[in-house]
Amino acid sequence: MSQTKYIFVTGGVTSSLGKGIIAASLAKLLQARGYRTTIQKLDPYINVDPGTLNPYEHGECYVTDDGAETDLDLGHYERFLNVRTSQANNVTTGRIYQSVIEKERRGEFLGKTVQVVPHITNEIKERVQILGNSGDYDIIITEIGGTVGDIESLPYIEAVRQLLWELGEHNGIVIHLTLVPFLSAAGELKTKPTQHSVKTLMESGIKADILVCRTEHEISEEIKEKLALFCNVRKEAVIQSIDASTIYDVPIMMQEEGLDTVALEKLALPKDTEPNLEQWNEFLQRHKNPKNKVVIGLIGKYVELQDSYKSILESFIHAGAANEVEVKVRSIHSEHLSTKNIDKKLMGLDGILVAPGFGERGIEGKIEAVRYARENDLPFLGICLGMQMAVIEFARNILGMEGANSTEMDPNTPYPVISLMEEQKSVTNMGGTMRLGAWDCHLEADSLVHEVYGALDISERHRHRFEFNNEYKKQLEEAGLVPTGFNPKTGLVEVIEIPSHPWFVGVQYHPEYKSTVANPHPLFVGFVKAVLVQKQKQKNASLA
**Contacting residues toward ligand GLN, per CB under 6 A:** 356-358, 384-385, 408, 463-466
Exposed / middle / buried, residue 542 (Cβ in 10 Å: 0-12, 13-18, 19+): exposed
The 3-class secondary structure across 350-383, one letter per residue, is CEEEECCCCCCCCHHHHHHHHHHHHHCCCCEEEE
Exposed / middle / buried, residue 286 (Cβ in 10 Å: 0-12, 13-18, 19+): middle
Cβ neighbours, 10 Å, residue 82: 14
User: Looking at beta carbons only, is 248 or 466 nearer to ligand GLN?
Assistant: 466
User: Looking at beta carbons only, is 109 or 358 nearer to ligand GLN?
Assistant: 358
Please, what is the minimum distance in Å from the beta carbon of residue 511 to ligand GLN?
Answer: 12
Query: Residue 101: which H helix or E strand, with range?
Result: helix 93-105
User: Looking at beta carbons only, is 28 or 464 nearer to ligand GLN?
Assistant: 464
User: Looking at beta carbons only, is 224 or 465 nearer to ligand GLN?
Assistant: 465
Please, what is the minimum distance in Å from the beta carbon of residue 462 to ligand GLN?
Answer: 8
Q: Between helices 310-323 and 278-288, what is the axis angle to 10°?
A: 90
Please, what is the minimum distance in Å from the beta carbon of residue 515 to ligand GLN?
Answer: 16
Task: Give CA–CA dist 354/369, Å, rounded.
Answer: 8
User: Looking at beta carbons only, is 374 or 510 nearer to ligand GLN?
Assistant: 510
Please, what is the minimum distance in Å from the beta carbon of residue 184 to ligand GLN?
Answer: 43
Q: Using the 8-state DSSP alphabet, how is residue 423 labeled? A: G
Q: Find all residues with CB under 8 Å of 526, minimum gap 6, and list them.
A: 451, 452, 503
List, by residue number, the catalytic residues: 384, 510, 512
The 3-class secondary structure across 213-265, one letter per residue, is EEECCCCCHHHHHHHHHHHCCCHHHEEEEECCCCHHHHHHHHHHHCHHHHHHH
What is residue 328's three-state secondary structure?
A: strand
Please, what is the minimum distance in Å from the beta carbon of residue 469 to ligand GLN?
Answer: 12
| Whether 307 contacts 72, CB under 8 Å | yes
User: Looking at beta carbons only, is 230 or 358 nearer to ligand GLN?
Assistant: 358
Please, what is the minimum distance in Å from the beta carbon of residue 167 to ligand GLN?
Answer: 40
Cβ neighbours, 10 Å, residue 254: 22
The four Cα atoms 371, 376, 380, 386 give a dihedral, to 10 degrees, of: -10
